[in-house]
Structure 1
Amino acid sequence: MSPEPPDLTRLLRDWTSGQPEALTSLIEVVYPELRRIAAQHLSRERQGHTLQPTALVNEAYLRLAQQGPGKQWTDRTHFFAVTARIVRAVLVDHARARLAAKRGAGAIEVELSEADGRVPAPPVDLLDLDAALEALEQLDAQQSRIVELRHFAGLSIEETAGVLDISPATVKRDWLVAKTWIRRHMNGEIPA
């Protein structure tokens, strides 16, 4: 009989209360999931991209560790919601650095698709997606957050609903509306 996995919520609370060793245990528990999320995002990039899943997870870990014990974590979904924002920031920073290095050529492309991968979508430029999410946030912060949680953290409808404390039906509706709005914005159908 295998030992029961450590309770993520307990590890988060231990880390919050100032136990630095809890961060090490926490990363051991969540690393496989973070690596899966990173690999999922990077698999949608153009051929020959330079950021590897391990590098993305390591950079996310460093930024997460900087959050420090002062951060109040509620549970697993809250942790992955914060992680989604961090992963998004790492990807956008990498895309901007690469774009600057190429002087405007070779922007990184990713797909905006269903989190479970059933419905593939055409690749989109990560910087355009980030700009669209920022514009959507000005109109509807909840819809922007839903896209971030579903796309960047890979959270399910139910997990997203739990993080935002709304119904799964609301998440489904807003997810559909937000994806449509983002695609229209990125296609130039909605003024910037």
Structure 2
Amino acid sequence: MPDPSATQILLASQSGDSQAVEKLFPIVYGELRSIAHRHLAGNSLSNQFCTTDLVHEAYLKLIDHRKVSWRSRTHFFAIGSRVMRQVLVDRARQNVAIKRGGGQIHLSLEEGLLSRTDDRHVLAVEDALQRLEEVSSQQAKIVEMRFFGGMTMDEVADEMEMSKRWVEAEWTMIRAWLRAELSED
């Protein structure tokens, strides 16, 4: 479990404490690695990114987010997961643009989680999440935190300031919606 002082260090870094950023990295590194590992698991981009590279690239973008008001370590990791996803989606877009290949994409949900197999699959998941965001930004945020961030129901509920029961009900609906969306693609 990451050091609870991460929240205080995040707040100090926002206030302009340059030493806070240096103190933050060792505290959040392990959890960021876990999130990066989940993003890369079964992803074709894992041969282009190692966990460490993804963590470092995301961290540099995170500490440069001057417009973000960090509320807590959970908020930091939720945004970190989003940044990692965007890094991978950007790379997948580059790869697909280079390849310009066609072909069928097999997308599936296994035990409620998306299985990622290739660049086109990463993009299909991203497109589905963008459509979900148009329907419900709260549900899209739940997917980011649960699937990409690996957060527990309790952590998601805390971050969204909702009950755990509400998050669980939403997660059930989201999985059904994603299953339908991805099978159409």
TM-score, normalisation: structure 2 = 0.86
* Selected match of 1:131 from 127, 130, 153: 127
1:98 aligns with 2:95: yes
Measure, in 2, the Cα distance between the counterparts of 1:120 and 1:99. Answer: 23
* Selected match of 1:160 from 156, 159, 166: 156
The corresponding residue for 2:171 is 175
The corresponding residue for 2:78 is 81
Q: What is the CA-CA distance between 1:104 and the residue it aligns to?
A: 3.2
Measure, in 2, the Cα distance between the counterparts of 1:80 and 1:169. Answer: 22
Partner amino acid, structure 1, of 2:135? L
Distance 1:12 1:148, change over 3 A: same
For structure 1, which runs of at least 5 residues remain unmatched after alignment?
none
Check the 8 A contact 1:45/1:111 in 2, yes or no. no
Partner amino acid, structure 2, of 1:135? R
Measure, in 2, the Cα distance between the counterparts of 1:152 and 1:13. Answer: 24
Say what the alpha-carbon RMSD is for the aligned residues: 2.8
Q: Residue deviations 1:4-23, cap 9 Å, x none?
A: x5601110111010012211
Q: Residue deviations 1:151-173, cap 9 Å, x none?
A: 11111100001111111111111
| Alignment map for 1:1-192 (pairs within 5 Å) | 5=3, 7-46=5-44, 49-68=47-66, 70-104=67-101, 122-123=115-116, 125-188=121-184
Q: Residue deviations 1:116-147, cap 9 Å, x none?
A: xxx76543611111100110111111111100
Distance 1:106 1:162, change over 3 A: farther
Partner amino acid, structure 1, of 2:143? V
Partner amino acid, structure 2, of 1:171? V
| Range with bigger deviation, 42-51 or 135-144 | 42-51
Measure, in 2, the Cα distance between the counterparts of 1:59 and 1:143. Answer: 26
Larger relative contact order, structure 1 or 2 (CA cutoff 8 Å, min sep 6): 2
Return the structure number with greater helix share: 2
Measure, in 2, the Cα distance between the counterparts of 1:111 and 1:61. Answer: 30
Task: Give me the identity figure in percent.
Answer: 37
Partner amino acid, structure 2, of 1:154? G
Measure, in 1, the Cα distance between the counterparts of 2:55 and 2:105. Answer: 18
Check the 8 A contact 1:46/1:110 in 2, yes or no. no
Q: What is the CA-CA distance between 1:111 and the residue it aligns to?
A: 7.7
